[in-house]
Structure 1
Amino acid sequence: MSGVLLGRRAALGLALGGLALPAQAHDGHHHGTAPAVAAGGVARLRGALPDVRVTDAARQRRRLVSEVIGPRVVAIDFVLTGCAALCGVVSAAMAGAQEILGPRLPREAGLLSIGLDPLADTPEALAEYGGRFGAGPGWSLVSIAPPALDDVLRRLGGPQPGADHAPMVVVLDARRGEIRRLLGLPAPEQIAAAVAAALDGRGPAA
C-alpha cells in the first residue's frame, strides 16, 4: 500500500476522531451534531440540472453538465474552503472513494466539489483545498456564481449557499436524472458503493 494512500486514510481517521469534540468546538459553518449517515434510495432530480458556466480550480470556465459532469456518474460534496470542521471530514472520505474507484475515474465516474461561498471559494482557494486531499484528474472543484448556484443546489437537494449546512454527498447520474443522497458522514466505501450502484443501474450498455 502506498504512503500516499496511508497518509490519506490516516488523515480521515484523525478527522473522524475530531468529531468526538463537543459541537461548539467546531467553527461556525456547522451547528449541532452531524446527522447519522442515511443512504436513502434513488430519487429523481428536481428538474434538469442547468448547464451553467462554472470556474474550476485551474481558472477554466466550463459548462457544468456538458463539460464537467459529462456522461459520468459523479459523487458531489459541498464545501467551504475555509471550513476547518466537517467539510474536511467529508472531503477526506471523497479522497478515500477516489482511491477505491481507481480505474473507473475519470472515464465512467467522477468526483465534484462545489464551493458554497462564491466570494471566498476562489480558484486559488479551491486548488489549495483540493491539493490537501490529493484531488486527481477525476475530481473537479468548481465555483458557481449566484443565482445559478442557488438553482443547482436546489435541484440537487443540497444545502443553502454560504449557509450553515449538514454534511452530505450526492451521487448524481444526470443522464438518468437520478440522485442518491448520503446524509451525514459517509465512509469512502459508501460513496464508492453508491457510485458503483448508479453505474450498475445503467446496465451493460453504460
Structure 2
Amino acid sequence: MPDARRSWWDQGKRIRSCLLGLVAASALSVVTTGAANAQWDGSYFPNVELVNQDGKSVRFWDDLLRDKIVVVNFVYIDCPDICGLATARMAQVVDWLSERIGKDIFFYSISLDPETDTPPRLKEFADAFEAPEGWMFLTGSRDNVDVVRFKMGERSESLAQHRTDMVIGNAATGEWRRASLMGSLVVLTEEILSLDPEWSRPRAEFATTQEALIIDNTRGEGLFFSGCAACHTIGEGIRVGPDLSGVTLRRDPAWLKEYLMAPDRMLARNDEVAVALDTAFPVVRMPNLQLNDTDVDDLIHYLSAQTDLLGQPQEVSGDDHAGPSHHDHDGHADGHGHATHSH
C-alpha cells in the first residue's frame, strides 16, 4: 500500500468513533434475500459488453459479477460536485479491504457519460485514486450502459439527479443490498465483508477501540473524517488533494472560510488561489458542500488544533505550489484533486 494511502488504514479505527452519528445514514436496505434470490442471477443481470480503463472488453455477468462479491457505483468524471468525493470515500474503503480487493471482493465504477468518459479518461481518473487491480472503471455503448444501470436500480435522468448510493452484493448467494457512500465508512466496510458467509464481525475489538477513542474526539473531527479525510491528510502528505497541515497559518482566515463555503463561486470569479488549486489538482474538483458558518468554524478549529499537535507548520509538499491554501480541507467534497473531500 503506498505510504500516502497507508495512513487511511491507520485512521480507520478513529473514524469508527467519529462517525457513529452517521450510522443510520449508511444503513443498507436489502434488495433481495431468501428464496427469491434465485432470480438475481444471470437470468436477471445483463451480460452486455463493457470496456474498462485499459481498453479491455468484459461481459457484465460472466466477467464482472458471476460468483463474486461486488461493489458497483455509477459516476460522471466531469461531475462538479459529489462524484469526486464519493470516489475518494470509495478509495478509503478499498484501502481498508486491502488484500481482499481483486481476490474475492471487486469494485466497479461505471460511467454514466460513456460518450465522454473514454477508457483513457477513466484510466487517468482511476490513477488519481491509485485504484488497485480489482477496482475497475468502465464505459461502453450508451445502450449497454443504460441496460446495466437500469438493472442495478440507477434511474437518474441527469447529472443533477445522480445519487451517491451504490449496490453491493454476492452473486454466488444472491444477496444484494443498496448502500450509501456518504454515511459511516466503517459500517459500510463491515456490511461489504458481511456478504461473505464466512466472515464474522470482531465485536470485542470494536467495543474496546471505540471506548478508548471517544475520549479523544475533538470539535470538528467528525466533519473532517466524514467529509475531508478521503482526499486530504493533516501532516501525512498529499493524497488526492493537498496535505492540510498548517493551512490555517498559511492562508488568510477570511479567504479560507469563504473557500470552504463556496469553492465553486470563487473559481467562477477566477479567484487567483482557487484557480491555482484547481490547476494543481485537476482530477477531482473541490465541491460546494453547502456548509454553514458553524460547520466551517468547526473544521477550521480542527485543522488548527491538529497543526498545533504537529508542532511547527510544515511546508506541505504540493500544497504551497498552488499558492492557495490548497484547497484545503473543505474540499472535502470533491475535488479537484484538491481533494476536497478528504478534505
TM-score grouping bracket, smaller chain normalisation: 0.7 to 0.9
- Counterparts in 2 of 1:133-172, with a 5 A limit? 133-160=129-156, 163-164=159-160, 165-172=162-169
Match of 2:31 in 1: 43
Change (3 A) 1:50 1:103: same
Counterpart among 102, 109, 114 of residue 110 in structure 2: 114
- The answer to whether the Cα contact below 8 Å between 2:193 and 2:199 also exists between their aligned partners in 1 is no
- CA displacement, residues 107-136 of structure 1 (integer Å, 9 cap, x when unaligned): 110111010011111101111111111100
Code of the aligned partner of 2:31: A
Structure 2: distance between partners of 1:38 and 1:188: 8
Match of 2:3 in 1: 3
- Deviation, 1:149, is 1.9
- CA displacement, residues 23-52 of structure 1 (integer Å, 9 cap, x when unaligned): xxxxxxxxxxxxx83423321359711111
Confirm whether residue 63 of structure 1 aligns to residue 59 of structure 2: yes
Match of 1:178 in 2: 175
Provide TM-score, normalisation by structure 2. 0.47
- The answer to whether the Cα contact below 8 Å between 2:90 and 2:181 also exists between their aligned partners in 1 is no
Match of 2:216 in 1: none
Task: Indicate the RMSD between aligned Cα atoms, in angstroms.
Answer: 2.7
Change (3 A) 1:117 1:161: farther
Match of 1:125 in 2: 121
- The answer to whether the Cα contact below 8 Å between 2:72 and 2:168 also exists between their aligned partners in 1 is yes
- The answer to whether the Cα contact below 8 Å between 1:78 and 1:116 also exists between their aligned partners in 2 is yes
Counterpart among 59, 66, 73 of residue 69 in structure 2: 73
Size of the aligned set, in residue pairs, is: 177
Change (3 A) 1:177 1:87: same
Structure 2: distance between partners of 1:68 and 1:117: 20
Change (3 A) 1:58 1:162: farther
Q: Which runs of 5+ in 2 are unaligned?
A: 10-23, 33-39, 201-343
- The answer to whether the Cα contact below 8 Å between 2:8 and 2:95 also exists between their aligned partners in 1 is no
Structure 2: distance between partners of 1:70 and 1:96: 25
- The answer to whether the Cα contact below 8 Å between 1:51 and 1:66 also exists between their aligned partners in 2 is yes
Code of the aligned partner of 1:110: F
User: Which structure is higher in RCO with an 8 Å CA cutoff and minimum separation 6?
Assistant: 1
Code of the aligned partner of 1:173: N
Confirm whether residue 102 of structure 1 aligns to residue 98 of structure 2: yes
Q: Which runs of 5+ in 1 are unaligned?
A: 10-35
Secondary structure of 2:28 counterpart: strand
Secondary structure of 1:175 counterpart: coil
Match of 1:12 in 2: none
- CA displacement, residues 153-178 of structure 1 (integer Å, 9 cap, x when unaligned): 12211243654312112112223333
Match of 1:191 in 2: 188
| Greater radius of gyration (CA) | 2
Aligned-residue sequence identity (percent) comes to: 24
Structure 2: distance between partners of 1:6 and 1:84: 27
> Which structure has the highest helix share of the two?
2
Structure 1: distance between partners of 2:51 and 2:155: 20
Match of 1:86 in 2: 82
Secondary structure of 1:200 counterpart: coil
Change (3 A) 1:157 1:151: same
- The answer to whether the Cα contact below 8 Å between 2:72 and 2:167 also exists between their aligned partners in 1 is yes
> Which structure has the highest strand share of the two?
1
